Amino acid sequence: MSAEARYRALKGMKDVLPPDIHLWQKIETAFREVFGAYGFQEIRTPVAESTDIFVRSIGETTDIVEKEMYTFEDKAGRSLSLRPEGTASVVRSFVENRLFNLPSPQKFYYMGPMFRYERPQSGRYRQFYQTGVEAFGSPQPEMDAEVIAMLGRLLGSIGLPELVFQVNSIGCENCRPGYKEKLLAFFGNRLEGLCADCARRYRQNPLRILDCKVPGCVELRQGAPKITDHLCADCRSHFEGLQRLLDLLGLSYAVNPDMVRGLDYYTRTTFEVTSGSLGAQNAVAAGGRYDRLVREFGGPETPAVGFAIGMERIVELLHQSAGAVVPAPDIFIASMGGEAGKQSFLLAQQIRDRGLWAERGDPAASLKSQMRRADRIAARHVFIIGEEELRSGIVRWKRLADSSQGEVALSDAAESAVRLRGDSLSS
Ligand code: HAM
């Protein structure tokens, strides 16, 4: 019988199903362990916020705010947006809940869906998941280095290969305006050659021209002044301090003065991790320092730094390098007939009470078809309960990987399941 789905997920949004979900959970578990070691605690903020929060922080003339937000009015006529990223919401929460009164630094992580109305392509979705962190309270480059080192540890904990770390400093309110003037002067007599987006960026935020991927713009910006040559003394010493610390930790990275990021809140450090195996959407994680944002949200002067990892992209990379991890039942109970079926139902419960994964065959089906099912779901062991077993109180077991078998007392079968699992894990 052929069936056609009547409804489909929205464009750019997708289900995460088994076996993929196991990979996601494995990553999340590994990440939480790393967060524990660095003292980052979880924070969960709503997926929708007042639109203002994103406009004011990410920036009115950024691609995200101009083109990519899911913005709508609620029934009371308030403008809400689905969060396109996590930083603005965490800063809102930090200020609203007066978390600045707690001992500094305050370090948070979050895992959850973000929403951007982008043109979907491989690695780019309209609903995507980020794991992000935000550390509040330290202006020192040690915090930038700690956060970058933790990002390395996170990606290392799941065995991701061949990642490139790039760092930059985009200065502060003292040195960036002077640098912008230099860029305006440089691009001023090259305007003809810029793409339409960059012509607009020239007026709104000329730094973004440095980030453009259009070949003509890449060509045109050869010889453009570098931000790293125009930092004020404080920003320069912060950036040099960061590099010394990264060297001390033995992290390999490249300084990329063209890496300016697409969000307006950054000050000083920006960084990005890319992978050579991902095609056009190759940024696996990115972040930076934002020393003014808490103040702009009404809190006290509080320097901060953070990053976010694109989860779909690292799942894709893990697929490429390892393949999925599919969990399998520890025990499959095949039973024949009504009374045996009842015993298998009880035994499954007793085995699950012990924390093992038990599945049952259909007692009305043949032993052969139940064994076939055990094989398909890759059960480790099968218990077989038929009339004979009920009479003798002895249950046969079989290990599917090597066809070894044996017998155990039905009354002791749940405990035997625990032992069998232990044996198969240690063999
Ligand atoms: P972002 O660079 O906009 O930064 O996003 C971080 C990461 O999210 C990207 O490197 C990418 O892996 C992933 N990502 C972004 N957009 C998409 C998409 N449409 N589909 C799939 N993955 C995507 C931020 O969001 C900042 N809040 C990071 C931060 C935290 N900075 C300071 N603290």
- 284 CA: nearest ligand 1 atom: 12
The binding-site residues of ligand 1, defined as CB within 6 angstroms of any ligand atom, are 85-87, 116, 118, 124-125, 128, 130, 132, 134, 263, 283-288, 306-308, 310, 312-313
Structure tokens at 336: 């024949």
Note the pLDDT of residue 324. 63
Greater confidence, 3 or 29? 29
**CA-based torsion, 257, 261, 264, 268: positive or negative:** negative
The protein residue with its alpha carbon nearest to ligand 1, atom 22, reads 310
> Residue 369 contacts by C-beta under 8 Å, 6 or more apart in sequence?
361, 362
- Alpha-carbon Rg for the chain in angstroms: 28
SS3 call for 423: helix
pLDDT digits (tens, 9 = 90+) for 29-67: 999 999 999 999 999 999 999 999 999 999 999 999 999
Structure tokens at 75: 């029934």
Note the pLDDT of residue 394. 97
Residue 376 has pLDDT above 60, yes or no: yes
pLDDT digits (tens, 9 = 90+) for 178-188: 999 999 999 99
pTM above 0.75, yes or no: yes
The protein residue with its alpha carbon nearest to ligand 1, atom 11, reads 310
Q: Report the distance separating Cα 422 and Cα 51, nearest Å.
A: 54
- List of long-range contacts for 46-51, beta carbons under 8 Å, 24+ apart: 46/83, 46/89, 47/82, 47/83, 47/112, 47/113, 47/115, 48/80, 48/81, 48/82, 48/83, 49/80, 49/81, 49/83, 49/88, 49/89, 49/92, 50/78, 50/79, 50/80, 50/81, 51/79, 51/80, 51/81
Query: Which of 28-37, 135-144, 321-330, 351-360 shows the lowest mean pLDDT across its residues?
Result: 321-330
The protein residue with its alpha carbon nearest to ligand 1, atom 12, reads 310
Note the pLDDT of residue 326. 81
- 313 CA: nearest ligand 1 atom: 12
Ligand 1 centroid vs 151 CA: distance in angstroms? 14
Note the pLDDT of residue 1. 57
What mean pLDDT, rounded, does the chain reach? 95
Q: What is the mean pLDDT of residues 334-352?
A: 97
Q: What is the DSSP string of 18-84?
A: TTHHHHHHHHHHHHHHHHHHHT-EE----SEEEHHHHHHHH-TTSHIIIII--EEE-TTS-EEEE-S
- 86 CA: nearest ligand 1 atom: 27
- 125 CA: nearest ligand 1 atom: 20
Q: What is the mean pLDDT of residues 262-290?
A: 94
The three-state DSSP-derived secondary structure of 87-156 is HHHHHHHHHHCCHHHCCCCEEEEEEEEEECCCCCECCECCEEEEEEEEEECCCCHHHHHHHHHHHHHHHH
Identify which of 276, 64, 58 has the alpha carbon closest to the alpha carbon of residue 166: 276
Q: What is the mean pLDDT of residues 352-361?
A: 98
pLDDT digits (tens, 9 = 90+) for 226-248: 999 999 999 999 999 999 999 99
Residue 323 has pLDDT above 80, yes or no: no
- 285 CA: nearest ligand 1 atom: 10
- 283 CA: nearest ligand 1 atom: 10
Q: Report the distance separating Cα 358 and Cα 374, nearest Å.
A: 11
Note the pLDDT of residue 404. 96
Ligand 1 centroid vs 243 CA: distance in angstroms? 23
Q: What is the DSSP string of 162-211?
A: SEEEEEEE---TTTHHHHHHHHHHHHHTTGGGS-HHHHHHHHH-GGGGGG
Within the chain, all domains assigned CATH 3.40.50.800 are found at 331-426
Q: Report the distance separating Cα 196 and Cα 204, nearest Å.
A: 13
Residue 423 has pLDDT above 90, yes or no: no
Burial of 70 (0-12, 13-18, 19+ CB in 10 A): middle
Residue 19 has pLDDT above 90, yes or no: no
Which architecture, in CATH terms, is 331-426?
A: 3-Layer(aba) Sandwich (3.40)
Ligand 1 centroid vs 85 CA: distance in angstroms? 7
Share of the chain above pLDDT 70, in %: 99
Site to substitute for ligand 1 among 40, 89, 110, 114, most atoms within 8 A of C-beta: 114
Within the chain, all domains assigned CATH 3.30.930.10 are found at 7-175+231-322
Greater confidence, 327 or 340? 340
Q: 7-175+231-322, which class in CATH?
A: alpha beta
pLDDT digits (tens, 9 = 90+) for 127-164: 999 999 999 999 999 999 999 999 999 999 999 878 99
Note the pLDDT of residue 125. 98
